[in-house]
Amino acid sequence: MIKVKIKSPVRPVVLTLAGNDCSGMAGLAMDIRTQTALGIHTAPVTTANTAQSHTGVDAVNAVDNRVLESQLKAASALPFAVIKSGLIANLQQITQIKAFVEKQPVPWVCDPVLKASSGEQLHDSASANDNTFNKSVLNNRQPNDDYLSRFKTELLPHISVITPNRDEAVALTGQPIKNHQDVEHAAEKLLAMGAQSVVIKGGHRLSQSPQFNNWCQDYFSDGNKSFWLSSKRLDTVNSRGTGCAFASALASALALEYPIYDAVVIAKMAVHQGLRLGYGHDLAQGPVSIQAFPDKQIDLPCLTSQGDFALESFKFTDCNSPAMGLYPVVDRASWIPRLAPLGVSTIQLRVKDLADEPLIDEIKSAIKLAKQHNCRLFINDYWQLAIKLGAYGVHLGQEDLDTADIEAIQKAGLALGISTHCHYEVARAHSYQPSYIACGPVYPTDSKVMPWIPHDLQGLSYWRRVLNYPLTAIGGINRSRIADVAKTGVDAIAMISAITQADDPEQVAADFVKLINTNKA
Ligand SMILES: Cc1ncc(COP(=O)(O)OP(=O)(O)O)c(N)n1
Ligand SMILES: Cc1ncsc1CCOP(=O)(O)O
Ligand SMILES: [Mg+2]
């Protein structure tokens, strides 16, 4: 037999504390399936063995504290990058887990599992190891003030991200939730109680608000940044384990080193995928099923600052027929007659050194020349002037989105392009349904100081898979890279320096048009 040495890929480890659900629909089984699909190695630490089926929870058997202790000790030998927790079964476990997490220098994603989706309370407020609870006990539990108060004082201050659903947020904060504002207040309260960040999940229906019912809206806040993620509610019964899946996907994304804002978007996408692909066994309810790192626009939520906004109110014109192709980004109108006759159909005017009358004159002149040459002209930054002077379109960065009147741009009939660099920004751009989305930087660039790690071809291909929007690649693209970029299937290739700093820009642009045409996917 020939032995082949295979170089194994490294999978980040998520140390996962949760209950075992013997029906395999939630708890550790869901955590392991979700994390595995996202490229993570799970170190599963059992807090309880629950006896449950699709009809409900029959018994919760918390593991003995020595059993939990020995698992924590052994599992921590692995180089885990994140801790994820689900069911913490009793007061003793709160003490043990606090003692464990406070020593760990890694993020902790805590899903405060208080009830099963069938309604039974899953934890006990007794302190010791009388561990078995049958159905009648579970249904007749007294209010769990002790558990909640110890959870809040001992655990909350150590939690990096807490992911309650609305009922759990109500139980933890003691405040009712009837509308978007209540959700935002509950999040503020959880932050004030010590959590570093919070996602209040909106999967459960809430009768008072039609928007809550037609859309699944989750709210994130870390005190610095707050946003809503909205996805159309899917009509499925196969939604068991959604909470575990969300927290597991979030923990996985953090373990893969995504920043928290992107990790929340990725988790929302993963759960939407899981709901689409959920399965049943001819029973009332089956589990969600996350099968791969999310890479489909159908799973992408809309990201907005307000929960109460007119979803689906935006739709910008298609700017990709005929195909955009080479997309020079230039600083003066005089480039337009030089480039347009070479087969360049789309140009951006990006002026950074003019103001007042000279700026207005430059934009006016660019619009006139673009019209003469039948060229689609996007104006960078100056959306008001673009509307006033009648440009074809506007290109906006993320900071511009904070202040621009997007409705006015749409009403004026202009096309809209938006810059993005990550999941958070792509989800934000998606809420405007722009004419194109730009992804960058693909490679390191000298034309702009940027804090972003370049996507490279792999990252660009990922965004090509995700997005059905016309996709523009930008950043560091030059002669040696343009063919590979075109092969990813992007619709437009934007460039500054490779054209504007070339010795013979016309020759270079003509070559690039040909290279794009011969290499496009
Ligand atoms: C096609 C395209 N993509 C991205 C950018 C960057 O735009 P923005 O984020 O507004 O930054 P500045 O260009 O204003 O520095 C772009 N201009 N074009
Ligand atoms: C404005 C901008 N936004 C993302 S990368 C970039 C600069 C692109 O310039 P170049 O094509 O010279 O790398
Ligand atoms: Mg700009």
How do residues 203-222 score in pLDDT, each as one tens digit?
766 555 665 668 899 999 99
Residue 1 belongs to some domain of the structure? no
From the CB of residue 135, how many other CB atoms can be counted at a distance below 10 Å? 15
- Span 415-425, average pLDDT: 98
Residues 91, 141, single domain; the answer is yes
Checking if the pLDDT of 260 tops 70, the result is yes
- Span 50-66, average pLDDT: 91
Residues 289, 409, single domain; the answer is no
Residues 77, 25, single domain; the answer is yes
Closest C-alpha residue for ligand 2 atom 1: 448
Q: pLDDT tens digit string along 276-304?
A: 999 998 767 899 999 999 999 999 999 99
Q: Is ligand 1 within 6 A of the CB of residue 281?
A: no
Out of 304, 334, 359, a domain closes at 304
Closest C-alpha residue for ligand 1 atom 12: 397
Count of domains forming the chain = 2
Instruction: Please give the structure tokens belonging to residue 129.
Output: 């190891």
pLDDT score, position 475: 98
Q: Is ligand 1 within 6 A of the CB of residue 421?
A: no
- Structural domain including 80 reads 13-304
Out of 275, 304, 333, a domain closes at 304
pLDDT score, position 119: 65
Residues 146, 18, single domain; the answer is yes
Q: Is ligand 2 within 6 A of the CB of residue 418?
A: no
Q: Is ligand 2 within 6 A of the CB of residue 417?
A: no
Beta-carbon contacts of 355 under 8 Å, excluding residues fewer than 6 positions away, are: none
Checking if the pLDDT of 7 tops 90, the result is no
Instruction: Please give the structure tokens belonging to residue 499.
Output: 């054209």
- Closest Cα partner for 287 from 233, 243, 253, 232? 243
Q: Which strands make up the sheet holding 215-221, listed edge to edge?
A: 132-134, 56-62, 41-53, 13-21, 80-85, 108-110, 161-162, 197-200, 215-221, 226-232, 302-304
Residues 341, 208, single domain; the answer is no
CB 140 within 8 A of CB 125: no
Q: Is ligand 1 within 6 A of the CB of residue 397?
A: yes
Ligand 3 center to 496 CA (angstroms):
14
Residues 241, 342, single domain; the answer is no
Checking if the pLDDT of 138 tops 70, the result is no
Q: Is ligand 2 within 6 A of the CB of residue 448?
A: yes
Residues 276, 345, single domain; the answer is no
Residues 244, 382, single domain; the answer is no
Closest C-alpha residue for ligand 2 atom 8: 475
Residue 155 belongs to some domain of the structure? yes
Residue 6 belongs to some domain of the structure? no
Nearby residues for ligand 3 (ion, Cβ within 5 Å):
380-381, 397
- State how far the Cα of 451 lies from the Cα of 500, in Å rounded to an integer: 23
pLDDT score, position 129: 47
Question: Which ipTM score applies to this complex?
Answer: 0.97
Q: Is ligand 2 within 6 A of the CB of residue 398?
A: no
Residues 285, 357, single domain; the answer is no
Q: pLDDT tens digit string along 341-396?
A: 999 999 999 999 999 999 999 999 999 999 999 999 999 999 999 999 999 999 99
Stated as kind and residue range, the H or E segment containing 63 is none
Q: Is ligand 2 within 6 A of the CB of residue 440?
A: yes
- State how far the Cα of 513 lies from the Cα of 518, in Å rounded to an integer: 9
Q: Name the residue of 447, 456, 512 to mutate for ligand 2: max ligand atoms within 8 A of Cβ.
A: 447
Q: Name the residue of 453, 463, 474, 508 to mutate for ligand 2: max ligand atoms within 8 A of Cβ.
A: 474
Residues 344, 220, single domain; the answer is no
Q: What percent of the chain has pLDDT over 90?
A: 85
- State how far the Cα of 301 lies from the Cα of 27, in Å rounded to an integer: 25
Residues 254, 350, single domain; the answer is no
Give the predicted TM-score (pTM) of the model: 0.95
Residues 136, 186, single domain; the answer is yes
- State how far the Cα of 207 lies from the Cα of 176, in Å rounded to an integer: 13
Backbone dihedral region for residue 489 (phi beyond 0: left; psi -120 to 50: alpha; all else: beta):
left
Burial of residue 204, with CB atoms counted within 10 A of its CB: 0-12 exposed, 13-18 middle, 19 or more buried: middle
- Span 125-153, average pLDDT: 67
- Amino acid occupying residue 378: F
Ligand nearest to the Cα of 497, by number: 2
Residue 318 belongs to some domain of the structure? no
Ligand nearest to the Cα of 324, by number: 1
Residue 7 belongs to some domain of the structure? no
Alpha helices in 309-440 (DSSP H): 335-339, 356-372, 383-389, 398-403, 406-411, 423-430
Q: Name the residue of 347, 354, 378, 380 to mutate for ligand 1: max ligand atoms within 8 A of Cβ.
A: 380
Would you place residue 69 in the very low, low, confident or very high pLDDT band (cuts 50, 70, 90)? very high
Indicate the annotated binding residues.
348-352, 380-381, 400, 419, 445-448, 476, 496-497
The two counts, helices (H) then strands (E), for the chain are 20, 19
Q: pLDDT tens digit string along 8-19?
A: 789 999 999 999
From the CB of residue 96, how many other CB atoms can be counted at a distance below 10 Å? 19
- State how far the Cα of 475 lies from the Cα of 456, in Å rounded to an integer: 10
- Span 102-129, average pLDDT: 77
53: domain CATH number is: 3.40.1190.20
Residue 252 belongs to some domain of the structure? yes
Residue 150 belongs to some domain of the structure? yes
CB 406 within 8 A of CB 431: no
Ligand nearest to the Cα of 398, by number: 1
- Closest Cα partner for 63 from 88, 83, 41, 38? 88
Out of 236, 269, 304, a domain closes at 304
Ligand 1 center to 306 CA (angstroms):
25
For the CA of 441, the closest atom of ligand 2 is 5
Burial of residue 386, with CB atoms counted within 10 A of its CB: 0-12 exposed, 13-18 middle, 19 or more buried: buried
Residue 61 belongs to some domain of the structure? yes
372: domain CATH number is: 3.20.20.70
Burial of residue 358, with CB atoms counted within 10 A of its CB: 0-12 exposed, 13-18 middle, 19 or more buried: exposed
- Span 408-416, average pLDDT: 98
Would you place residue 2 in the very low, low, confident or very high pLDDT band (cuts 50, 70, 90)? low
Indicate the annotated binding residues for Mg(2+).
381, 400
